[in-house]
Amino acid sequence: MGELLAAMREHSRRRQPGVLVAGRVAGFREHLRWYDSRPLFGKRILVTRPREQAPELVDRLTLLGAESIEAPMIRMAPPEDPDPLLQAAAAPEEFDWIIFTSANAVDAFMTALLDGERDVRALKGPRLCTSGTATADKLASYGIKVDLIPHEFRGDAVVSALLALGPMKGVRVLLPRADIGREVIAEGLREAGAVVTEVIAYRTILEDAQREGDPDVYGMLLDGKIDVATFTSPSAIRNFAKIHGADQVADLLKNTVVATIGPVTADAARQL
């Protein structure tokens, strides 16, 4: 009974509903244990995605049996000067290629396009390239197909894939990107002779340290209560290190699996 009460106290701290089964029916557990036979059952996974984007990942993890610990490291905000984005979205036919490097850039550009006087038919002129399948899927959600996805999901691979199609001299390229986005694509295409127009599609804002009501991520990591930490951008990793201490973050995560999306984010994680 003491063990049961201790388990109930531990569960109550998670502020999640629980079910207690007592009596002979508990004997059917081995035949009905679908719940705890899920692949991630019993795992606590740290989700650092922006708060508005976390539900999709959290829902998938929950279906697989995991308990998600949400601790957003960044959030997205509109550009301080929206005019360049609005002007580009109003005249996409002025470009030969539009390159999207994130789902956030897609959403920002499509919002600017659709809030104006144009619709998706305006994109019939330029060819579209994305840096990965997730970004292509985001365009597909607007009913738009992508013309080019490089085999590797990184900036230099985008440049190589475009150059493989032919000379880029004089080719007009639009690159909607984050305010802290990497310069690899723009620089590589300019070196090849392309005319690249960069517009800030959104800003990446670093979240502050733990807010009231948020989980104590630092304490949970110290106690070994987080099994996996997930990161979907280099900026999320950098802010995680800033919040929890750049000098000690490697030790803090030494017993935790670190999962990242894409090689660029993986490279940032290796630098911790």
Would the CATH topology of 41-73+208-270 be identical to that of 77-205?
yes
pTM: 0.80
Statement: 77-205 belongs to CATH 3.90.1330.10:
no
Question: What pLDDT is stored for residue 124 in this prediction?
Answer: 93
- Residue 209: left if φ>0, alpha if ψ -120 to 50, beta else—which one? beta
Per residue in 13-43, pLDDT tens?
Answer: 666 677 777 777 777 767 667 777 899 999 9
Short-list 99, 87, 92, 89, CA closest to 196: 99
Question: What pLDDT is stored for residue 153 in this prediction?
Answer: 85
> Where exactly are the structural domains of the chain?
41-73+208-270, 77-205
Per residue in 210-231, pLDDT tens?
Answer: 677 788 999 999 999 999 999 9
Per residue in 63-88, pLDDT tens?
Answer: 999 999 999 999 999 999 999 999 99
CB atoms within 10 A of CB 207: 19
* Interstrand relation of 44-47 and 67-70 (parallel, antiparallel or unpaired): parallel
Mean per-residue pLDDT, 111-138: 95
Per-residue pLDDT band at 61 (split at 50, 70, 90): very high
Question: What pLDDT is stored for residue 247 in this prediction?
Answer: 87
CATH of 41-73+208-270, one of 3.40.50.10090, 3.30.930.10, 2.130.10.10, 2.60.120.10: 3.40.50.10090
Mean per-residue pLDDT, 88-92: 97
- Residue 143: left if φ>0, alpha if ψ -120 to 50, beta else—which one? left
233-267 exposure pattern, b = at least 16 Cβ within 10 A, e = fewer: bbbbbbbbbebbeeeebeebbeebebebbbebbee
Question: What pLDDT is stored for residue 4 in this prediction?
Answer: 62
Question: What pLDDT is stored for residue 8 in this prediction?
Answer: 65
